């Protein structure tokens, strides 16, 4: 798939205010500073589509982008150690979980995992929560360029083994780098395959 157009549609805090659920939709989420905005910009070939910042927690709304006029890419607030008040964090968690559990046209959630570090409890808990609600998701191991291939492979294997402590099987996964565009073709190809089978509600 080639991204020909990417348009910002709007930012929302309530799933009922989101665009009509008549197109396939894909949400991106992960811990703050996992490289989510950079990944979105890489996939869409737009330098400033999603806001990139060195300060975690800049994405604070459900941001919808219309891609190629036929599917939505959704940039969700990061979770974790963002420097925001507990009240704001709880508000985020509420509308994120509400969106993920109720958005009818949501085809897949891309859960971003930092490939440089050991498995984080918050990532595993979030994956378990989506599994319990049967929300379809895949893993994207980000920042693949930051480690040597052997270390990268080892870190990914450790994370998968940790998941297998509570999972019978594992979701599909991709390895990505916004610097050298690793994973771009594979991720967009995955989305294209699902789009081909999408039946409007």
What's the confidence (pLDDT) of residue 36? 92
Question: Out of 54-58, 79-83, 90-94, which region has the weakest mean confidence (pLDDT)?
Answer: 54-58
Cβ neighbours, 10 Å, residue 86: 7
What's the confidence (pLDDT) of residue 57? 45
Alpha carbon separation from 188 to 48, 76, 127, 171, 193 (Å, rounded)? 19, 18, 22, 17, 9
24 confidence band (pLDDT: 50, 70, 90)? very high
Does position 53 have pLDDT exceeding 60, yes or no?
Answer: no
Does position 28 have pLDDT exceeding 50, yes or no?
Answer: yes
Task: Show the domains of the chain with their CATH numbers.
Answer: 6-197 (3.40.50.300)
Mean pLDDT of the chain: 88
pLDDT in tens, 136-149: 999 999 999 998 99
Strand order in the sheet with 137-142: 6-12, 62-67, 71-75, 25-30, 106-114, 137-142, 173-175
What's the confidence (pLDDT) of residue 51? 64
């Amino acid at each position: 798939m080639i991204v020909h157009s990417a348009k910002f549609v709007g930012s929302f805090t309530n799933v009922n205010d989101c665009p009509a659920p008549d197109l396939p939709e894909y949400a991106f989420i992960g811990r703050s500073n996992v490289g989510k905005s950079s990944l979105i910009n890489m996939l869409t070939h737009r330098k400033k589509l999603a806001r990139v910042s060195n300060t975690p927690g800049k994405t604070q709304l459900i941001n919808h982008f219309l891609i190629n006029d036929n599917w939505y890419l959704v940039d969700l607030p990061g979770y974790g150690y963002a420097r925001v008040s507990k009240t704001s964090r709880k508000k985020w968690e509420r509308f994120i979980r509400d969106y993920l559990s109720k958005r009818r046209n949501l085809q897949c959630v891309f859960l971003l995992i930092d490939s440089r570090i050991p498995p984080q409890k918050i990532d595993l808990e979030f994956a378990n929560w989506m599994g319990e609600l049967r929300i379809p998701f895949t893993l994207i191991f980000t920042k693949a360029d930051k480690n040597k291939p052997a270390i990268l492979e080892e870190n990914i294997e450790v994370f998968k083994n940790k998941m297998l402590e509570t999972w019978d099987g594992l979701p599909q996964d991709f390895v990505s780098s916004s610097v050298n565009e690793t994973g771009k073709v594979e991720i967009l190809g995955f989305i294209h395959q699902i789009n081909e089978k999408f039946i409007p509600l």
